[in-house]
Amino acid sequence: MTKLSVNINKIATIRNARGGNTPDVKLAAERCEMFGAQGITVHPRPDERHIRYQDVFDIRPVITTEFNIEGYPSENFIELVLKAKPHQVTLVPDPPDAITSNAGWDTVKHLNFLKETISKFQTAGIRTSIFVDTDLKNIEGAKQTGTDRIELYTEPYAANFDIDKESAVAPFTKAAEKAISLGLGINAGHDLNLDNLKYFVKNVPGVLEVSIGHALISDALYFGLDNTIKLYLRELKQIES
Ligand code: PXP
What are 10-65's pLDDT values in tens digits? 999 999 999 899 999 999 999 999 999 999 999 999 888 899 999 999 999 999 99
**The residue count for the chain:** 241
Residue 28 region, left (φ>0) first, then alpha (ψ -120 to 50), else beta?
alpha
Residue 226: half-sphere exposure toward Cβ, Cα within 13 Å: 1
178, 136 in Cβ contact below 8 A?
A: yes
Residue 24, pLDDT score: 97
Residue nearest to atom 1 of ligand 1 (CA): 189
Residue 98, pLDDT score: 72
- Nearest atom of ligand 1 to the alpha carbon of 43: 8
Number of other CB atoms surrounding residue 108 within 10 Å: 13
127, 120 in Cβ contact below 8 A?
A: no
Residue 51, pLDDT score: 95
Per DSSP, the residues of 209-239 read EEEE-HHHHHHHHHH-HHHHHHHHHHHTT-S
User: Active site includes 50?
Assistant: no
Residue 35, pLDDT score: 98
| Residue 97 pLDDT grade (very low, low, confident, very high; cuts 50, 70, 90) | low
Query: What are the domain boundaries of the chain?
Result: 3-240
Question: Which is the catalytic residue, given 33, 66, 151, 190?
Answer: 190
Report, as an integer, the average pLDDT of 76-90.
97
Rounded distance, CA 48 to CA 32, Å? Answer: 22
- Nearest atom of ligand 1 to the alpha carbon of 191: 15
Of 152, 226, 210, 200, which Cα lies nearest the Cα of 6? 210
Ligand 1 centre and the CA of 6: distance in Å? 10
84, 58 in Cβ contact below 8 A?
A: no
50, 28 in Cβ contact below 8 A?
A: no
Rounded distance, CA 229 to CA 224, Å? Answer: 9
Summarize pLDDT for 180-197 with one digit per residue, the tens: 999 999 999 999 999 999
Report, as an integer, the average pLDDT of 212-233.
98
CATH level 3 topology of 3-240 = TIM Barrel (3.20.20)
Rounded distance, CA 143 to CA 132, Å? Answer: 11
- Nearest atom of ligand 1 to the alpha carbon of 70: 3
Residue 46, pLDDT score: 86
- Tell which wins on pLDDT, 94 or 7: 7
Summarize pLDDT for 98-128 with one digit per residue, the tens: 767 789 999 999 999 999 999 999 999 999 9
Ligand 1 centre and the CA of 71: distance in Å? 10
User: Active site includes 70?
Assistant: yes
State yes or no: pLDDT of 179 exceeds 60.
yes
State yes or no: pLDDT of 82 exceeds 60.
yes
Say yes or no: CB of residue 101 within 6 Å of ligand 1.
yes
Task: Of 9-23, 62-76, 227-241, give the lowest mean pLDDT range.
Answer: 227-241
Whole-model pTM? 0.96
Summarize pLDDT for 138-161 with one digit per residue, the tens: 999 999 999 999 999 999 999 999
Question: Which is the catalytic residue, given 33, 50, 66, 70?
Answer: 70
